């Protein structure tokens, strides 16, 4: 299967702990996105990369959140000092976009997500 892969599928942690999620995009895709979804809401944009460059970060993303995409392949999302409000589904998506274009006129392919529960 060559779809977007996320690991782990589920993560339960205690408040104050750090967690890290991994996303492996579709291999030829140059863009990678992180979204967060809570119950009854649509996916909420967190950040995105074009190759290894992080081009945009949501102002809703606190300093406790950091994302990396070394070498423009897989990406990690780390949450430090987790809070109960961080409990959500974290979704990764990838796409193939012409370099240099600022718009998103392409479809995103989503992974199955990582469900985070902070106790």
Partner 1 sequence: DQQVKQNSPSLSVQEGRISILNCDYTNSMFDYFLWYKKYPAEGPTFLISISSIKDKNEDGRFTVFLNKSAKHLSLHIVPSQPGDSAVYFCAASITKLIFGAGTRLAVHP
Q: Footprint of partner 1 on this chain (CB under 8 A)? A: 4, 33, 35, 40-45, 48, 55-56, 91, 93, 102-105, 107-113
Min dist. Cβ of residue 31 to partner 1 (A): 10
- Which DSSP letter does residue 43 get? -
Min dist. Cβ of residue 6 to partner 1 (A): 8
Tell me how crowded residue 114 is: count the other CB atoms within 10 A of its CB: 22
Q: Which is nearer to partner 1, 10 or 81 (CB)?
A: 10
Q: Which is nearer to partner 1, 62 or 101 (CB)?
A: 101
Min dist. Cβ of residue 86 to partner 1 (A): 19
Tell me how crowded residue 29 is: count the other CB atoms within 10 A of its CB: 18
Q: How far is CA 64 from CA 17, 34, 37, 61, 105, in A?
A: 11, 15, 18, 8, 31
């Amino acid at each position: 299967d060559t779809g977007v892969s996320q690991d782990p599928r589920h993560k339960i942690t205690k408040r104050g702990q750090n967690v890290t999620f991994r996303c492996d995009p579709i291999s030829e895709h140059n863009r990678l996105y992180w979204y967060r979804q809570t119950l009854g809401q649509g996916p909420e944009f967190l950040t995105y990369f074009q190759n290894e460059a992080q081009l945009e970060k949501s102002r809703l993303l606190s300093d406790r959140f950091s994302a990396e995409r070394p070498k423009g392949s897989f990406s990690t999302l780390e949450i430090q000092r987790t809070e109960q409000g961080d409990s959500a589904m974290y979704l990764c998506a990838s796409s193939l976009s012409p370099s240099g274009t600022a718009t998103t006129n392409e479809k995103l392919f989503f992974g199955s997500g990582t469900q985070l529960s902070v106790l």
